[in-house]
Structure 1
Amino acid sequence: MANPRLRALIWWRRWSKREWAIAVVGFTIVIFIFSLLFDASSDQTSSPLLSSYDVVDLTLLHNAKDRGAFCLDGSLPGYHFQKGFGSGSNNWLLHIEGGGWCNSVASCLSRKMTSLGSSNFMEQQVRFSGILSSDKSQNPDFFNWNKVKIRYCDGASFSGHPESELKNGTELFFRGQLIWETLMDEFLSLGLSNAKQALLTGCSAGGLATFIHCDEFRDRLPRHATVKCLADAGFFLDEPDILGNRTMRSFYHDVVDLQGVAKSLNKDCLSRMESFEQCLFPQEFIKNIRTPVFFVNPAYDFWQIRNILVPDASDPHGNWRPCVLNIRTCNPHQLQILQGFRSSMLKALSEVQQIQGGGMFINSCFIHCQTWIAETWHSPSSPRINNKTIAESVSDWYFDRKAVKQIDCPYPCNPTCYNMDFTQG
C-alpha cells in the first residue's frame, strides 16, 4: 500500500463508465488527475513571500479569442504563472498538465463539461508543488525560476487542428496546436524571450505534448539559452494487450483522425511509418528529436498497465482486476507478464541510450506521474535509484553534472517505491 501521507496528498477522479466507454473503444478507461494539497508550512528562507506564494491564480490566455485558440467548448485556455526571483529571474520552467485524450465526438462532448475541455470548470487557484514548488528544500534547483502550469483543455496533447472540426458537425473546437502557439507567444512576451535556461515538462498526456513540441520550444528561445525537455509518465508504449490486440494504437488512430493531429507530428516519422498514429508513440519519434530529453517513467506505470496492457475488454471475467488495482495482489503468472511489459519499455527506451544529451529515471514503482508531487519528486522518503531522488537525477542531467541513465532493478526490488493501492477507498 502506498505511504498513508502520500495517499492523503493525492486525489483521483473516476469518470463514469459510460463516458470512458465512449472515450476508449472497447474498454472502460480511468484517468487519474493528481492534485497536491500540501502542508501550509514552508521554509521562509527559500522564497521572498509566505507559503501562500505557492497558491497560484488562473490566468486566461489574453489573445486567445482574437486568434481563435479555444478549448473544446470554445472557452479561453488558461495557465498559472509564478514569477521567478533572484538568480532564477531569467530561467523558465513550463509544466503541461495531463489528462488523457478524447477520440470521438461523443467523448469530446463529454470532456468539454470538465476542466479538461473547458476553462469554465478549472480551479481558480492551484498549489504548486514538487518541480513547481518555490520551497528550496523541496525543489533545490528550480525553486526560484519563473514557473508555469499550462492547463490542458483540447483533448489531443496540444496537437489538434481546426480543419478537422468540419467533420464532426457539432460545436467542438480542435485548436490544440493553435493554443500551444498562442501560449508560447504570451510567455515570450512575459520574459521567456530572454530566458537563459528553460525546461519544458509535462505529465502523462502533458508528457506526450512535451515530446511533440520539444524542438519547437527550443527553436522559439534564444540560441544561447540552455533548453531541455522532461517528460513524466509520457512514454506510452505501442504494445499489444494480453489478448494480442493493439488497443492503444487503435485509440490513437481515432484521436489522430478526429483532430487532424498528423500536422503536428514529426515529419520524418510520418514519412517512414505505415500509419500516422504510430508517430504519436514516443518510441517512434524520439529518434528525430534534436533537443536533449529526460524520461521519468515507472516501469510498472499503472495507467499503461490498466489501459494498454490489460484494458477491460481484454479481461471480461475480471481475473486481472485485483492486480491492476494493486500490484501486490498479482499472481506469479501476472507478474511474469508485467515483467515482460517492463522489458518492452526498456527495449523501446534503448534508443534514448544513443541520443546525445538524453537521460532517464526508470524506477520499478506502481505509480504514474511523479515529478509534481512533493513526496515523489524530492523528500526524505522519495523513491530513489542508487540513492538519488528524481529531483537530484534530473538536476544532475539538466546542469550537465553527470550522465544520468538510472534504471531500477525489477519489481519488487526497490523498498523506496510508492506503489499505489486503488483497492482502498
Structure 2
Amino acid sequence: MKKLLWSLTLFGVILSLRVNGEFDKMEKFTDFNGTNVYQTENHDVNSKAKATMVGLTLIKNAALRSAVCLDGSPAGYHFHPGSGSGAKNWLVHLEGGEWCSDIESCEYSKETRHGSSKHMEKKIPFTGILSDKASENPDFYNWNRVKVRYCDGGSFMGDNENKDAKLQFRGKAIWTALMTDLLWNGMREAKQGLLSGCSAGGLAAIFQCDDFKLYLSSSTRTKCLSDAGFFVDATDVSGDRSLRKLYNDVIQLQSITNDLPDGCLDNRSPTSCFFAQNLVNQVKAPLFILNAAYDTWQIQESLTSKSADPTGSWSNCTFNIAKCNASQIKFFQGFRSQMVKLLGAFKEQRKNGVFLNSCFSHCQTENQDTWYSKNSPSIKNKRIAVAVGDWFFERGGAKLIDCAYPCDKTCRNLI
C-alpha cells in the first residue's frame, strides 16, 4: 500500500486514493500560506483586501547553486522592505509544507506549490507576524520581512537527488543561497534578527537557528521562533509511533543524517534527532517555542490517523472536540502532559521563551486572528504577539503554559 503523504499545514483531510483494491487515505491539510481572509468576530483586523501583497522573488542562478525545489525549479521568497526604526531589523519566516518520504509522495508534491515554484502564487498577502501594520503586528511591522517558500519536502535539510524520478532534495542548498542573497541585500548590517517558521518551517527554524546567528554579526540581537514545530515522539491510539517511521524515511531519502546536530547524534539515532524535543535544549541562540498543546496536525495526521485508527472510532472526536468521550479526552490530556514535561528543562533556561496554549490549533503566527487581534488567544491576558515581543525585547513574562483543556476560553479551536 502506498505510503502516506503528510502535509503540515491547516485543516482537514481532502484526498483519498484507490490502491490495490483498498482506500489508502492521503491525509493532507489544505495549504496555509497566509492567503486566507483573517477576520475576527468583532471585525477588528483588516481583511484580505487590505493586506499588503508581496511579490515572489526567485533565487538567481538557482540551478548552479543547487537552490532548487523538488522539480528542479528555482526556490523563492517574498520580501517586503523595512522602514524607519525597523530599516535595519530583519524577520525571516520559513513557510510550512509537506514532508515527502518516498518517491511517490515527492512526485505528488512537485506538482504543487510545495514542490515547485511554477505553482507558487506570484503575490501573497503579508498578515500576522508579517503584517506591515502596527495595529496588527506592533513589534515587527516595520522590519524587513521575508517569507521563504517551502518546496524541498525536508524542512530545509535535504542534500540529495533521484535522477530516475527527476527529483531534487536541496533544502540545505536553498537555505544557504537564501541567506547569502539576504546578506547581500542588506541583512549583513542587521541590528536585530528573528528567524521564525511555521510547522515544517517551525522545525526548520530550530534546525537552522544557530546557523542563522552565525550568519549575522556578533553584535546583532539574534533570536529564533518556532511556531507549531514541536512535534512530539508520541504513541498513537494504536500503540505505534508512525511519526518515527515517517521521519526515518525522510532522513534516508533526502540524505539528512550528516546535517543533523552532532551533539544529538552522539547519543541518539538520526530519527530521534529529527524531533524538536531532542534538539531545543542544545540550541545556543535564544529560542521561543509557540505551540498548541493539542496540535491539530499531530492529532489528526499522526495520533489518530487512518493507519492508527482503521475503524474510524476516533474520527468524530478528532474533527469535533465536543464529540470526544471521557477516555479520548484523557488521551489528549496525556499528550499535553508529555509536551509540558518535555519543555521543562528548556523553559528553565533564561534566554528561552514559551507560549503553550491549550487550544486545538496548528500554526498561530501568520493568522491575524491568532497572532494579534482583539480576540486573539491569550494566557494570563497576554496575547501571542505580545508574549513574543516581550521575549525578544526582554520586557519580561515570556514563559507561559496554559492550564489544561477546557479552561482556556480564548482559543480559536480548529476541531
TM-score by length of 1: 0.89
CA distance in 1, matches of 2:27, 2:249: 15
> 2:93 is aligned with what amino acid?
H
Q: Match for residue 245 of structure 1?
A: 240
Instruction: Choose from 69, 72, 82 the match for 2:70.
Output: 72
Q: How does 1:136-151 map to 2 (within 5 A)?
A: 136-151=134-149
Q: Which amino acid aligns with 1:186?
A: D
Counterpart position of 2:201: 206
Distance 2:367 2:62 in 1: 30
| Aligned match for 1:376, one of 370, 377, 381 | 370
Deviation for aligned residue 1:15: 4.9
Displacement of 1:12 in angstroms is 5.0
Q: Secondary structure at the match of 1:198?
A: strand
Q: Distance in 2 between matches of 1:18 and 1:235?
A: 29
Distance 1:304 1:269 in 2: 23
Q: Work out the CA distance in 2 between the residues paired with 1:11 and 1:289.
A: 27
Residues 251-301 of structure 1 show CA distances to partners (whole Å, capped at 9, x for unaligned) of 10000000011122111101110x211101010111211010001100011
- The aligned counterpart of 1:7 is none
Q: Describe the SS at the equivalent of 2:343.
A: helix
Q: How far off is 1:355 after superposition?
A: 2.6
Q: CA deviation at 1:241?
A: 0.8
Report matched runs for 1:363-402 at 5 Å. Answer: 363-402=357-396
Counterpart Cα distance in 2 of 1:410 and 1:236: 18
- Secondary structure of 1:276's aligned partner: coil
**Where does the alignment leave 5 or more consecutive residues of structure 1 unmatched?**
1-9, 41-50
AA in 1 matched with 2:15: S
Kindly indicate whether the alpha-carbon contact (under 8 Å) linking 2:14 and 2:30 is maintained by their aligned counterparts in 1. Answer: no
Do the aligned partners of residues 65 and 169 (structure 1) sit closer, same or farther apart at CA in structure 2, a change above 3 Å counting? closer
Counterparts in 2 of 1:263-302, with a 5 A limit? 263-273=258-268, 275-302=269-296
User: What is residue 215 of structure 2 aligned with on the other side?
Assistant: 220
Question: After superposition, what is the alpha-carbon deviation per residue over 1:352-378, rounded to whole angstroms, capped at 9, x for unaligned?
Answer: 123330011000111100011111001
2:344 maps to: 350
User: Which residue of structure 2 lines up, in the alignment, with residue 118 of structure 1?
Assistant: 116
State whether residues 201 and 229 of structure 1, in contact with CA within 8 Å, keep that contact through their aligned partners in structure 2: yes
Cα distance in 1, alignment partners of residues 64 and 51 from structure 2? 31
Aligned counterpart, 2:87: 89
Choose from 310, 318, 342 the match for 1:316.
310
Q: What does 1:151-170 correspond to in 2, within 5 Å? A: 151-162=149-160, 165-166=161-162, 169-170=164-165
Cα contact 1:306–1:324 (8 A) shared by 2: yes
SS at the partner of 1:62?
coil
> Structure 2 CA distance, aligned partners of 1:376 and 1:54?
18
Give me the whole-angstrom Cα distance separating, in 1, the residues matched to 2:320 and 2:199.
Answer: 20
- For the residues of structure 1 that align with 2:75 and 2:172, how far apart are their CA atoms? 12
Q: 1:413 aligns with which of 392, 398, 407?
A: 407
**1:240–1:308 contact (8 Å) kept in structure 2:** no
> CA offsets per residue over residues 199-226 of structure 1, 9 Å max, x none?
0000000001100100000000011000
- Structure 1 residue 348, shift from structure 2 partner: 1.0
The Cα shift of 1:89 comes to 0.1
Q: Let me know the Cα RMSD of the aligned residues.
A: 2.0
Match of residue 31, structure 1, among 18, 22, 29: 29
Query: What amino acid is aligned across from residue 270 of structure 1 in structure 2?
Result: L
Q: How far 1:14 sits from its partner (Å)?
A: 4.8
Counterpart check, 1:16 vs 2:15: yes
* Partners of 1:58 and 1:255 in 2: CA distance: 28
1:192 aligns with 2:187: yes
Instruction: For 1:359 and 1:185, locate their aligned partners in 2 and report how far apart those are by CA, in whole Å.
Output: 28
From the superposition, tell whether residues 53 and 417 of structure 1 become closer, same or farther in structure 2 (CA, over 3 Å).
Answer: closer
- Secondary structure of the residue aligned to 1:364 is strand
Using the TM superposition, give the Cα deviation of residue 52 of structure 1 relative to its aligned residue in structure 2, in angstroms: 6.3
Q: How many Å apart are 1:30 and its aligned residue?
A: 2.1
Residue 13 (structure 1) shift: 7.2
Partner residue in 2 for 1:176: 171
Counterpart Cα distance in 1 of 2:79 and 2:349? 32
Show CA shifts across 1:25-47 (max 9, x none): x864223422334489xxxxxxx
C-alpha distance in 1 between matches for 2:30 and 2:360: 13
Which amino acid counterpart does residue 69 of structure 1 have in structure 2?
A: A
What letter matches 1:360 in structure 2?
V
In the alignment of these two chains, the number of paired residues is: 394
Work out whether residues 28 and 311 of structure 1, in 8 Å CA contact, stay in contact via their aligned partners in 2: no
**As a proportion of its length, which structure holds more strand?**
2
Cα displacement string for residues 174-233 of structure 1 (whole angstroms, at most 9, x for unaligned residues):
111001100000000111110000100000000011001000000000110000000000
**How many Å separate the matches in 1 of 2:182 and 2:99?**
25
More helix by share: 1
Runs of 5+ consecutive residues of structure 2 not aligned to the other structure? 1-8, 40-48
